[in-house]
Structure 1
Amino acid sequence: MKVMVLLLDKASPSETDHGLLDPFVSLAEFSVSPPGGFRDHPHRGFESVTYMLQGGIIHQDFNGHKGTIYEGDVQWTTAGRGIVHSEMPAEEINNGLQLWINLPSTYKMIEPKNLEISSSEIPIAEEDGVEVKVIAGESMGVQSPFYTKTPIMFLDFTLEPRAQTHQTVPASWTAFAYIIEGDEGVFSSSDSSTVQANNVVVFGTGDEVSVWNTSSSRPLRFLLIAGEPIGESVVQHGPFVMNSQAEIDMTIGDYRNGRNGFEMAKYWRSE
């Protein structure tokens, strides 16, 4: 099992500075095969978006939810006040990306929920050598019907050789790109250096992101992710994302003692 964290502030129990990429906590690329997997584990205080690039993942949680997502599918998990779940490989080779999105303090203790979205439900727009899958937000006149509690944009772009795109982003939002495939993408400035696959590009202020595929033979595929900053203090301790160390201490106690949303943690085990 391989997990590569692409975007992550310090994961210590002390208060950390997430201001640069607020409201995002982490973006991780994972590769997992049987008998590996992400066995029963807890979360509180954020949402996650899992996007499969190859294979599939079987999800189970202590509220009785069970579902499987395959290549091109998405699962949104709102951990809220507490969830214990497992994420296990569905096929021999399974690769994907998981984005953690912070929740504002007013939503951190909401009821947890899960939603699987099949690739056939994700709207697609195409024009002039550019294809975009609109998982969240809007692009090229197409609006996603899905959303997270914290407003975000989650777009999967593929640019044919020599194609370019210009995506509007709210000026106050945090924005970054993760390159999935292609080594000759130029982001936001015509005199910028090209960016290789498996790298993150963090954008500065502005209301538009421009991307050129300068390759004459290879497509460029990347995720463009943007979100509205929350502007609150963040303390992350492993699978818990709260606003203070006191809340982290309370969360650890709640999980260990099976209370305040973790009542089923004492009894539930995944299949």
Structure 2
Amino acid sequence: MNQINVQEQIVARPASDGDGVKLLRVFGGPQLQRFDPFLMLDEFGSEQAEDYIGGFPPHPHRGFETVTYMLQGKMEHRDHIGNVGLLEDGGVQWMTAGKGIIHSEMPKQTEGMMRGFQLWVNLPANRKMIPASYQDIAAGDIAVHQLAEGTVKVIAGRTRVNDTELNGYFSIADTEVSYLDISIEAGQSMHITVPTQHNAMIYSYQGQIQIGDNRVNSKAKTLSRLSGQGKVVVENPTDSVARLLFLSGKPLQQPIAQYGPFVMNTHEEIEQAIQDYQAGVLTD
């Protein structure tokens, strides 16, 4: 079995989006091919209402999918199709923007903690203009597996953790995305199988872990991009629980052109998306 080790580490940086929502940009921006098929990951989390109360008023998307995973809090989704959904503790919203969607994500609380993640997943060229769709999945519908070493919540994909095959709620044909939320108990370790030819990443968001055969340290708020195929060992050398996201996906290996909320394959397609939005026909 080939070794899997850390190829690159990125520390999440403060940013803001929507109507002044404070967040951490884990990755995104230039050189997106190295994350293929993923485009961006944000972490948001605050007990201060002023950090999130502005929410994300109506805005457009085209050409990719957004996955919002709420650890704690309440957020309401509304879109031009007529979908309305309330994302609550542990719930997941999987939205395919396709040819175009205009939606809002607004807090349904005025105090207390709001914490979660938003992941952007690219669509292949032949599916970028499919009709938009949306799913709102409650926490109770997503499998959580209790292992001796900790817990694994399987949001998407099929993978193996400590030689136990786990299946997620979502199965994404084009990119075969695996999306796991993992808690590792103090002093324990887990082996995660990275599917052949996938790009894989681990985002440590609570506590500290060590990754790979060379035991690279990863503190909280650090993304580790992996290289190699086979199994990656993740250890928790501390005396408290560590939490992390594991992401893997099959690269599309297609050109990426991005302008804000639009992700296409060429600059001409981006110009068309802007024109369509300005003309009010993005979603037609």
Relative to the length of structure 2, the TM-score reads: 0.85
Distance in 1, matches of 2:89 and 2:181, equals 13
Deviation track 1:72-109 (CA, whole Å, cap 9, x = no partner) reads: 11000000000000000122232210000000001100
Residue pairs, 1:174-189, within 5 angstroms? 174-183=199-208, 185-189=209-213
1:224 is matched with which residue: 222, 227, 246?
A: 246
> What secondary structure does 1:72 align onto?
coil
- Please give the alpha-carbon distance, in whole angstroms, between the structure 1 residues aligned to 2:38 and 2:230: 19
8 Å CA contact 1:124–1:142 kept in 2: the answer is no
By how many angstroms is 1:147 displaced? Answer: 2.3
Higher strand share: 2
Matched AA of 1:186: Q
> Partners of 2:175 and 2:197 in 1: how far apart?
14
**Are the structure 2 counterparts of residues 35 and 145 from structure 1 closer, same or farther at C-alpha, using a change threshold of 3 Å?**
closer
Question: Where do 4+ consecutive residues of structure 1 move more than 6 Å?
Answer: none
Q: Which deviates more, 47-56 or 132-141?
A: 132-141
**Deviation, structure 1 residue 236:** 0.5
Distance of 1:30 and 1:162 partners within structure 2: 28
In the alignment, the residues of structure 1 paired with residue 35 and residue 169 of structure 2 have an alpha-carbon distance, to the nearest angstrom, of 25
The normalised TM-score by structure 1 is 0.89
1:249 partnered with 2:271 = yes
Equivalent-residue separation in structure 1 for 2:235 and 2:210 (angstroms): 5
Name the residue aligned to 1:152: 177
Amino acid at match of 1:151: E
Long gaps (5+) in structure 2: 1-20
Of 208, 227, 252, which residue of structure 1 is paired with 2:231? 208
The structure 2 residue matched to 1:60, chosen from 78, 83, 94, is 78
One-letter code of the match for 1:235?
A
Deviation track 1:44-86 (CA, whole Å, cap 9, x = no partner) reads 0000110112212100000000001112110000000000000
- Provide the C-alpha distance between the structure 1 equivalents of 2:251 and 2:244, rounded to a whole number of angstroms: 22
Aligned equivalents of 1:197, 1:157: Cα separation in 2? 14
Is residue 99 from structure 1 mapped to residue 113 from structure 2 by the alignment?
no
SS in 2 for 1:51: strand
2:93 aligns with one of 57, 71, 75: 75
Q: CA RMSD in A?
A: 1.4
What SS does the corresponding residue of 2:273 show, helix, strand or coil?
helix
1:30 Cα shift?
2.0
1:164 aligns with: 189
User: What is the total number of aligned residue pairs between the two structures?
Assistant: 253
Match of 2:165 in 1: 141
Aligned to 1:14: none
Question: Percent identity over the alignment?
Answer: 37
Aligned 8 A contact 1:37 1:88 in 2: yes
Select 1:38's aligned residue among 53, 56, 74: 56
Distance 1:35 1:135 in 2: 27
Q: Distance in 2 between matches of 1:221 and 1:125?
A: 14
Match of 1:126 in 2: 146
1:246: Cα distance to partner? 0.2
Counterpart amino acid of 2:196? Answer: A
Work out the CA distance in 1 between the residues paired with 2:196 and 2:29. 23
CA distance in 2, matches of 1:125, 1:97: 21
Which residue identity is paired with 1:213?
Answer: N
In structure 2, the residue corresponding to 1:80 is in which secondary structure?
A: coil
Quick check: 2:154–2:169 contact (8 Å CA) kept in 1?
Answer: no
- 1:2 alignment partner, SS class: strand
